[in-house]
Amino acid sequence: MTGMLPVHGRLTQFESALERDHLLLLDFSPLVVRVLEQPLTLTYLDRDTRPRRYTPDLLIEYVDRPSELCEVKYRVDIRESWSALKPKFRAARRFARENEIRFRIVTEVEIRTPFLSNVMFLRQYRDCPPDLFTREHLLSTLALLGETTPERLLGAAYWLEYDRLNGMTSVWQLLAEHKVVADMSQPLTMTSSIRNLTREERLWQRPHLFHLP
């Protein structure tokens, strides 16, 4: 499977369904600045001393940590091709160490988790037209309640069932935009714990931190 996916404002190419899923996670993260596909090609010597070439899948730039070279592969492919992959990965680790970045191998074990399911669910709400009045009302109510659940938040914010149902879209949208926090490692439901951002977390919401020209 190949295609293109917008990741932090830039169309990024993927070459497998697993790589696409990883890009979805990277696009959701507010700590990722930019993702570049096939960013560089390394030359290394194989066992027979012939020069070989290796192109890692991604280069990921972060707000709060060193950049990361990343290889995305299914575990079965790593096991079956380990003898050929090992010198490639060794060359990538050496390059990363020399340039003060990281090299990481990511598989379906790290990618296909409840977090990914939550990201795919919330992604559909990111481009919905925002109801600014409803959003502000929900954020104000959440500030008064403290840590709560979507179900309790909507119940406290509205008397009428119609208004609660209408406000549900704004709840998911606020989560999708990182205006409200939840434990994304667990499946999101109406009884999931949610809360407002802390002051430290709000500092990371400055737009210039996340989008380079």
Q: How confident is the model at residue 206 (pLDDT cuts 50, 70, 90)?
A: very low
Q: What integer pLDDT is reported at residue 203 of this predicted model?
A: 58
> Mean pLDDT, to the nearest integer, of 32-44?
95
pLDDT tens for each residue of 68-111: 999 999 999 999 999 999 999 999 999 999 999 999 999 999 99
Query: What does pTM read for this prediction?
Result: 0.89
Q: What integer pLDDT is reported at residue 144 of this predicted model?
A: 96
- Domains of the chain and any CATH numbers: 3-111 (3.40.1350.10), 114-209 (1.10.10.10)
Scored b (16 or more CB within 10 A) or e, 53-70 reads ebebbbbbbeeeeebbbb
Q: Which residue type occupies 144?
A: L
For residue 10, the cross-strand partners are 7
SS3 assignment, position 60: strand
Quote the Cα angle for 86-92-95, to 5°: 145
Q: How confident is the model at residue 114 (pLDDT cuts 50, 70, 90)?
A: very high
Quote the Cα angle for 159-187-180, to 5°: 55
pLDDT tens for each residue of 44-73: 987 767 899 999 999 999 998 999 999 999
pLDDT tens for each residue of 160-182: 999 999 999 999 999 999 999 99
